[in-house]
Homo-oligomer: A and B are copies of this chain.
Amino acid sequence: MVSISISVQDTAFDAGAMLNDFSNENSQVGAVISFTGLVRDTPDNDLDRMVIEHYPGMTERALQTIADEAAQRWDLAAVLVIHRFGDLHVGEQIMMVATASRHRTAGFEAAEFLMDYLKSRAPFWKKEFTKSGAEWVDAKDADEAALGRWSAD
C-alpha cells in the first residue's frame, strides 16, 4: 500500500519539517527524494508578489490522479504533494513533491513524473505582479513536451 498525502493550501509550509516528517514515516525504505519549487524573482528583480489561482475540487482530484498513477508505475512507499495558492513572495515555497522508495531510480523517476504532470495537468495558474503591471505566466511548450517521455513506456 502506497501512502499518498496531498495538500492544497493557502498557508506557507516548512519544507524541511515536511521532509523530516516524511522521512521518519518512511524509514523502512532507503531513498527519499524531494522537489521544492520556489518563487523566483523576475529578470528585472521587481516582483512584488505572485498570486496563484486554482480550481478547488478539480485541483485535489487531478493531484490524486497523478499521485495514484505514479504509485502504480513505480515501486514507492509514499508520495507527498503540497501546493500553495493565493499570495506568495520571492523565495517562498510554492510547492513540494516527495517520494520514498526502496531504490533511488524509482524515486527519482516518480518525482520527475509527478512534477511533469503537475505542471501541465493540475489546474493552477500563476500571475506575477511587478512595478510594470500584472501578467499571467505563460505555459511553456517544454512543460507540455515533457509529458511525452512518460507515454512511450
Binding site for B on A (CB under 8 A): 14-20, 23-24, 26-41, 90-91, 93, 102, 104-105, 107-108, 111-112, 115, 146
Determine whether the beta carbon of A34 is less than 8 Å from that of B33: yes
State whether A29 touches B33 (Cβ < 8 A): no
Q: How far is the CA of A23 from the CA of B105 in the complex (A)?
A: 23
Contact A33 B30 (CB under 8 A): no
CB within 8 A of A20: which of B15, B35, B102, B115?
B15
8 contacts between A and B (CB under 8 A): A15-B20, A16-B20, A19-B34, A23-B38, A27-B40, A33-B111, A35-B108, A104-B112
Contact between chains at B40 and A30 (CB < 8 Å): yes
